[in-house]
Structure 1
Amino acid sequence: MKKQDVERELPIQLIRSGAGISANLSEAVYGSRRRDFFSKTRIALKEYFGPPCMA
């Protein structure tokens, strides 16, 4: 991938990931069940921190 492509694509990916985290947290807060809250919060945290590193 060219440097120009990376410089253009990176901000778009950051915005998308931030929007996904925000959407999941919003669903968690306004979910109808406690189970939904924990599930959506867990998904948002995984998106924020990324997958665990396997070293």
Structure 2
Amino acid sequence: MHPDNKAMATTGVNRINIENLGIGLSCLFFKSLAYINKGSQVRIFLYLLLSEE
């Protein structure tokens, strides 16, 4: 294989890996946001429940 072709192939693979990593990170980010949101809803619910007393 010609060195230039090898370099091209590796940059292509790296670009795909970086894109997948980005997708994975954003997915994790949104999952954690949803989790935090759910947690705060529960907290608000408990707060309202306790303040009713």
Q: TM-score range by the shorter chain?
A: 0.5 to 0.7
Aligned residues: 33
Sequence identity percentage: 12
In structure 1, stretches of 5+ residues that fail to align are 35-55
**Equivalent position of 2:14 in the other structure:** 6
Tell me the amino acid that sits aligned with residue 34 of structure 2: S
The TM-score normalised by the length of structure 1 is 0.51
**If each structure's helix is expressed as a fraction of its own residues, which one has the higher value?**
2
Mapping 1:9-48, distance limit 5 Å = 9-31=17-39, 32-33=42-43
Shift of 1:10: 1.2
In structure 2, stretches of 5+ residues that fail to align are 1-9, 45-53
Cα RMSD (Å):
1.6
- Name the structure, 1 or 2, with higher relative contact order (CA <8 Å, separation 6+): 1
The TM-score normalised by the length of structure 2 is 0.52
Residues 1-54 of structure 1 deviation map (CA, whole Å, 9 limit, x = unaligned): x212111111111000000010001000101348xxxxxxxxxxxxxxxxxxxx
